[in-house]
Each structure stands twice: as structure tokens, then as C-alpha cells.
Amino acid sequence: MTRRRKKAARVILGPVGNGGAGFAEAADNATMKNRERQSLTTRQFAESLGVSESSVKRWIDDGVIAADRTAGGHRRIPMAAAVRFTRQHRMSPQRPEAMPLSTVPSLGAVDSEAADECYEALLSDDAERVRAIIMGRYISGADIATIGDGLVRPALGRLGELWKHDSQGILVEHRAVDTCIRAMNDLVAWLPSRPSGAPVSITAAGPGDPYLLPPMLASMTLQEQGSDARNLGPLTPIETIGLAAERYGAFMCSLSVSTVQDRKRHAEWTRLADRLEVTRTRLVVGGRCVESLPTEILVRARVCGSMIELGSYAAGIVQGVGSRHRSLDGRKP
């Protein structure tokens, strides 16, 4: 571990922590807003990671872990800093009994084990388990795109094979989507904060496309790559997508296509592509039914096969776009 310049810990006032619960318990027992405000004692964090408390104290004093101090002078590690540290240093929690999240397999190339586990948890409507699995992957170092492609997509894909949409299937699918959305939402607070003037991107699914997760995952992926990502969600009129690109001065528009596109809309899609050219907004398209877009759009757009591909494409251009893109009304996005 590299040592860094010693930083003075900020002094915080008032009650902190959660009364002796471990890292995982702290993560499990509260809403995200509370969780953001929570912090861990050095002992709690040390126990979760399976390291000595003196190591944790030393890392804090060396400025490797950002920490606060209570009025009484005790070190406290905000949850966000604990997550950031664990991810940065690729540390896996060592104490399953102290941290249920660590029962998730650590980061590896194949995610089928986690996806199967997630599928079982979705099937039994165990939202807490799903959240622990998704959060565990994130804490272990997986990025949003990897979680989307390697975990959420296969878990939901298996669910979709079960009933072929009888009423029981629809119930399970609606619950599963809601559970995944909540779990992903919990990660938003831990994404890198967007720098001021970050280039704006918009994400959406078009008319007739009710699928919530694809545009949401695309939005989070773009945010993780340093963009100020604004999600319009599913069922967005094509006209509205063009309007948003203009209003935000978006450098990128990412469209998810999960339902077969009606040929009657082909002219509308072409008009959107023309409009995006005027605003110099790059059009990226992807999703299960992307091939149903008019050929002209497929030729003019960047077609991406996965969230991982979207993430690497965006990463390559976000830096270069910089502050050239401001919203048209002159305010910083």
C-alpha cells in the first residue's frame, strides 16, 4: 500500500455510527440517505476487512482512508470512503459473519455464480439478498457496466425463460425489475461525483419500449465514466429525445432498443438523427432489438453490443469533450 501525505481529519460533531453494527449491517439496515451519513468505527471496518485495527488507524493517519473525527477525537470512516477504499485496493471482506456481502464470489472474469445466486434471490423475492449481491460485486471492484452485463442481464434473462409471461411470471418480473432498480439506485451515491462542467449525456428508451433497466444502466455507466448523465427513462417520445439533446447540449445520446421498432416510426428516427447532427450529439444505440431500427440509423449511429462497450466508448471521448458542452441556456449543466 502506498503511503500518502498525512491529512488532518475533519472534526464532526454529534452522534455517528450505528451503535456497534458491522460494515454489512450498516449497509443493510438503513435507507441510502441514512447510509450516506453513516460512518464506521475503526474496529468495525477492521473486522469487516479482516485486518488489524491499528492498520486501519495507520491508513487513516497516512491519509489513505478519508476519515472524520468525533468531538471526542475518535476516528470515523464515512461509508462512502469505506466503499471507495475497499474498491480501490481490491480488498475482499474476510469475515462472512461480520459482512454478509462477502459471501458473494470476489471479482472474476465469469460472473455466472453471482448471476445464478441473484436469479435465485429474485425468484424468491429476496430484495435484501439481491442488494447484497449487487453491492458486493461493486465493492469488490466491478463497475456498473460489468454488473449490468454480467449479473443483471443473465439473472433476468433466466427469469424471463420461466413462464413466458403468464400472470405469475409478470408478477415475478415486475418485482425483479423493481428490486434491481432499487439495488442499482443504492450504488448511485457511491459513483464518483461528477465534476463541475462535466459533459452531459442523455439516455432513453423510445416509444413503445417499457423496459426500465437498460436506460438506467446506460445512464449509470455514463455517469461512472465522468459524464453528467440525465436519464429520460422508457417510453420517451422521439421528439422529446431531440429536445433533451438540445436543451442540455448533450455530447452523447444513448438509446436502448428492447422492443421491435415499428416501421411507421422510421422517418421520425431519421429526423432525430438529423437533429442530433446539428447539436453535434453522438448517437449510440444498443439493446436486444437494436437491429429493428432503420438501416440508415444503424449506419449513422454507433452500435454497441453491451454496457461494457458503451462504457469504454464513452470513456474515450468524455475527457476530450470537457467543458465545450454547456447547456444552451448558458448555465453549467
**Binding region for ligand B12 (CB under 6 A):** 148-149, 152-153, 156-157, 159-161, 164-165, 170, 173-174, 177, 210-214, 217-218, 254-256, 258-259, 284-288, 304, 306-307, 309-310
* Closer residue to ligand B12 in complex, CB, 79/118: 118
Q: Which residue type, as a one-letter code, is found at position 53? A: E
* Closer residue to ligand B12 in complex, CB, 82/176: 176
As measured in angstroms, the least distance from the Cβ of 231 to ligand B12 is 12
Query: CA-CA distance, 220 to 231, in Å (whole number)?
Result: 9
* Closer residue to ligand B12 in complex, CB, 53/173: 173
Query: CA-CA distance, 53 to 59, in Å (whole number)?
Result: 10
Among 239, 214, 225, smallest CA distance to 306 is for: 214
As measured in angstroms, the least distance from the Cβ of 114 to ligand B12 is 14
As measured in angstroms, the least distance from the Cβ of 179 to ligand B12 is 11
SS3 22: coil
Chain position whose Cβ is nearest to ligand B12: 286
As measured in angstroms, the least distance from the Cβ of 55 to ligand B12 is 38
* Closer residue to ligand B12 in complex, CB, 82/304: 304
Q: Position of cell 493517519? A: 61
As measured in angstroms, the least distance from the Cβ of 83 to ligand B12 is 22
| Phi, psi dihedral angles at 90 (to 5 degrees) | 50, 45
Q: How far is CA 37 from CA 76, 105, 300, in A?
A: 11, 28, 45
Residue 12: all three cell numbers together: 464532526
Whether 68 and 16 have beta carbons less than 8 Å apart is answered as: yes
As measured in angstroms, the least distance from the Cβ of 102 to ligand B12 is 25
* Closer residue to ligand B12 in complex, CB, 41/259: 259
* Closer residue to ligand B12 in complex, CB, 187/307: 307
> Using H for helix, E for strand and C for coil, what is the string for 23-51?
HHHHHHCCCHHHHHHCEEEHHHHHHHHCC
